[in-house]
Amino acid sequence: MFIDQVKLYGVFGDPVAHSLSPHFQNEAFKLLGVNGLYLKFRITAEQLPAAIAAVRCLEFGGVNITIPHKEAVTPYLDRLEGDAKLTGSVNTILRRDDELIGYSTDGEGFLLSLRHQAGFEPRGKKVILLGVGGAARALAFRLVQEGIAALYLVGRDREKTERLCQALREKTGFSAEAVLFGTSRLKMIAAQAGLVVNTTPLGMYPETKLFPPFPLEDCPRDCLVCDLIYHPLTTTFLRRAGALKLPTLSGLGMLVYQGILACQIWTGLTPPFSPLYQLLEGILQQEEQ
Ligand code: NAP
């Protein structure tokens, strides 16, 4: 690395202490021969405008944006591209000359993991998303664009769940159905599902015994069950699905593909999947011991 020519990258969020992105991106830069340095920055809501101004004046190559700034950051950018424009949520910023451009790679990262890791094609499938937060929103908008047959959004708050259905309808014309956790409707939709995705944090380290209340036993045998959680690598939800002999997919692939997409946006180069997946898997396995 030539320190006088190094380009800075980073992740802005609060908290960011446990972010795997510096491990990922610094290894990706090394594999690609890119002279970049990626750091994590704990940025509070009050500090966000100054931090984004620093991206311009310190001439960062780009940054990732994580909880809780994905929506709050949009007014400080010059324009949004692709899914970010549709969802109003940004997780990757590219600085090109004086311009800051916002992207969202959540939905695309999930799709790449679905297709390449699970060999699953969502077109024509009935999809159930458990949870209606930021990740569910990104997945819902992306999956609708991929031509799914039906979408059920399962939340614990009726108003919030219906708000997401309404946003989807207004922006894409697609009618999703709002379903509440704990209702008998869940058994009926489970019986027709081709894809079920946990987008709630239920089961995430350290509360690994938790899982979303969903009748997996009613799903067809070929229904793919995904969890966006990657810590632990195999959640209780996925373990339960595995015990029922349903195919499963963890959140680690989505995380890795998002890192690859961010690196592509910044450098125009595509880092390889396998060594980066193994790097993060190794770090997580060590933490789980
Ligand atoms: P978020 O915006 O906070 O949304 C979380 C959703 O889960 C909300 O709808 C929330 O309900 C719901 N929820 C939380 N506790 C619940 C409970 N006890 N019962 C029922 N619903 C509950 O979070 P997010 O950004 O979407 O992230 C969600 C998860 O996805 C996290 O575990 C995150 O680590 C993971 N994720 C992974 C990747 C990846 O690359 N693998 C990417 C993004 C996110 P309310 O709406 O009622 O509050």
For atom 44 of ligand 1, the residue with the nearest CA is: 135
Q: Which one, of 115, 116, 60, 140, lies nearest residue 92 by Cα? A: 60
What pLDDT, in 10s, does the model give residues 219-234? 999 999 999 999 999 9
What pLDDT, in 10s, does the model give residues 139-173? 999 999 999 999 999 999 999 999 999 999 999 99
Catalytic residue among 7, 30, 70, 187: 70
CA gap 121, 47 in Å, rounded: 41
Ligand 1, CB cutoff 6 Å, lining residues: 106, 109, 131-136, 155-157, 160, 181, 199-202, 204, 228-230, 251, 254-255, 258
Q: How far is the CA of 180 from the centre of ligand 1 (A)?
A: 15
In order of their start, the domains of the chain are 3-104+253-288 (3.40.50.10860), 107-250 (3.40.50.720)
Q: How far is the CA of 133 from the centre of ligand 1 (A)?
A: 5
Sheet with 79-80: strands ordered across: 36-42, 7-13, 62-65, 92-96, 99-103, 79-80
Q: How far is the CA of 154 from the centre of ligand 1 (A)?
A: 12
CA gap 177, 180 in Å, rounded: 10
pLDDT at 2: 59
Name the residue with tokens 């340095």. Answer: 37
Give the ligand 1 atom nearest the CA of 160: 46
How would you write the chain as a 3-class SS string?
A: CCCCCCEEEEEEECCCCCCCHHHHHHHHHHHHCCCEEEEEEECCCCCHHHHHHHHHHCCCCEEEECCCCCCCCHHHCCEECHHHHHHCCCCEEEEECCEEEEECCHHHHHHHHHHHHHCCCCCCCEEEEECCCHHHHHHHHHHHHCCCCEEEEEECCHHHHHHHHHHHHHHHCCCCEEEECCCCHHHHHHCCCCEEEECCCCCCCCCCCCCCCCCHHHCCCCCEEEECCCCCCCCHHHHHHHHCCCCEECCHHHHHHHHHHHHHHHHCCCCCHHHHHHHHHHHHHHHHC
For atom 18 of ligand 1, the residue with the nearest CA is: 202
pLDDT at 1: 57
Indicate if 160 belongs to the active site.
no
pLDDT at 76: 98
Measured in whole angstroms, the distance separating CA 234 from the mean position of its chain's CA atoms is 17
Give average pLDDT by consecutive 10-residue segment, the chain, 289 residues.
82 94 98 97 98 96 96 97 94 96 97 98 98 94 97 98 97 97 98 98 95 98 97 96 98 98 98 98 91
